[in-house]
Structure 1
Amino acid sequence: MTSTPPATAHQHDQTTNTTNSSSFHGCCCRLFLLLSSFLILFIVAAILVIFLAVKPQKPHFDLQKVVFQYMGISAVTTTQSAATVSLIIHMFFVATNENKVGIKYDEFWFTVMYRGIPLGRGAVPGFYQPAHNVRLVETTIVVGQVNLIQANAAYMLGEASLNDRVALRVVGDIGARIQILGLTSPRVQVSVDCTITFSPTRQTLMSKQCVFDGLSV
């Protein structure tokens, strides 16, 4: 009859080696997780220190100039309570970056409205603005024979014929991100809300009033 103790001892050695190997791998995993957590915390802390050091601010936009290339208002012949509006407006904004770091802008749009009714939109392609930089931003809004009905049409026709003035509202939400050492901040938003009054007969701007993020300028 064959003796079994040597086989049992060999199995015991294998079990011991497996246990030691598992313990070693488990220790390495815990050490890796600890180092990874420390590295992540260090990176987050470094980013916070950098942001606090540069004190990033939102970019500032100012409506510099408005040019009316064309403006047309006409009553619809089939009814006295409707009118069509056609216009082409060129708007020039000055974007100022007073930060110590650059700003990356997403593509954004300006919408022209009359008494709360959207008439048309103008796009501004995304761009990068370096630190301490002032840049001219241009957009063109084209409105092609948009119909106004009832009270809005009568109001615009009255403004144009009696007072030679029409007030439009231009709004836009500008998305921007601060860039520091190749890192990009979460998206911040700058709101622009301008009221422009112009003369249809002279095709000229009479007045403008803008509000940027709740601040009137």
Structure 2
Amino acid sequence: MTTRSNQPPQPNGDRRQMPPSQPPAPVASVSSNGYHQPHPPYYPRTPSRPSSSASLKGCCCCLFLLLSFLALLALAVVLVIILAVKPKKPQFDLQSVGVQYMNIAADNPTGTTASITLTIRLLFNADNPNKVGIRYGESRFTIMYRGIPLGKASVPGFFQQAHSTKQVVATISVDRMSLLQADAADLIRDASLNDRVDLRILGDVGAKIRVMNFDSPGVQVSVDCAIVISPRKQSLTYKQCGFDGLSV
């Protein structure tokens, strides 16, 4: 009598792969008209991660707001200081012109060319009417005859205390400056017959108001002086100056 085992037969070395898992079958539902409508299968969703571009935009926006706030704060501080100090334009005036030496000579017998040698001393008066100090930059002056530049002078920068007056000296030297044709003839005629030589002095003076170790925007004072010199007396006979200050 043969005994049968209830165990299923073992495969002889044959490993069979399990079929791939199938998505869950759709569940049918009954609609109002009696037809079965299957539901779509449900798949779990993975949570989305914030993109790096969004975080970068957020950082840029915060930085922009911070810089804007600092700029507005600095502007407010400057306005408060300006309203408290009430800065005024510095006064820079030409007080006197001293002729130290002047010589005009014809270079040839015909008088078609002439040379001028001149040394003059300019004395300026700088007046600071403000409650704070003023820092002046280097100033340059040019002396001209009938639109022809003859020589230049420069004054180094300096600091001026509040409510003070300071004298500034500049010396312009012209060493045998040659003039040709009509300009030479006019110069010889003015010096020998009229005893007067008309000259013009031009220059720019830059200044900044100093408040709490900070310099304000610059103020530029333009100097324009017309002077008349007597070659015989070696002295100044006429002076008229104009000054124009403007913010830059």
**TM-score when scaled to structure 1?**
0.83
* Closer, same or farther: CA 81–40 of 1 in aligned 2, 3 Å: same
Q: 2:193 aligns with which of 151, 157, 162?
A: 162
Q: How many angstroms apart in 1 are the aligned matches of 2:223 and 2:173?
A: 19
1:197, CA displacement in angstroms?
Answer: 1.1
Residue-by-residue CA offset, 1:1-57 (whole Å, 9 max, x unaligned): 9xxxxxxxxxx78x75xx499977865664454233212211111102211332222
What does residue 231 of structure 2 align with? 200
Give unpaired runs (5+ residues) of structure 2. 1-17, 19-45
Q: Which runs of 4+ in 1 moved over 3 A?
A: 19-33
Task: Determine if the alignment matches structure 1 residue 47 to structure 2 residue 78.
Answer: yes
Residue-by-residue CA offset, 1:162-191 (whole Å, 9 max, x unaligned): 121211111101112222222222222111
What does residue 163 of structure 2 align with? 132
What does residue 209 of structure 1 align with? 240
Higher helix share: 1
User: What amino acid is the match of 2:156?
Assistant: P
What does residue 135 of structure 2 align with? 104
Give the number of the structure with larger relative contact order, counting CA–CA contacts within 8 Å between residues 6 or more apart. 1
Equivalence map 1:72-111=2 (5 Å): 72-111=103-142
Task: Determine if the alignment matches structure 1 residue 180 to structure 2 residue 195.
Answer: no
User: What amino acid is the match of 1:199?
Assistant: S
For the aligned residue pairs, the C-alpha RMSD in angstroms reads: 2.5
User: What amino acid is the match of 1:129?
Assistant: Q
Q: 1:151 aligns with which of 161, 182, 191?
A: 182
Q: How many angstroms apart in 1 are the aligned matches of 2:206 and 2:66?
A: 36
**TM-score when scaled to structure 2?**
0.73
**Aligned sequence identity (%):** 53
User: What amino acid is the match of 1:212?
Assistant: F
1:123, CA displacement in angstroms?
Answer: 0.6
Q: How many angstroms apart in 1 are the aligned matches of 2:228 and 2:211?
A: 40
User: What amino acid is the match of 1:180?
Assistant: V
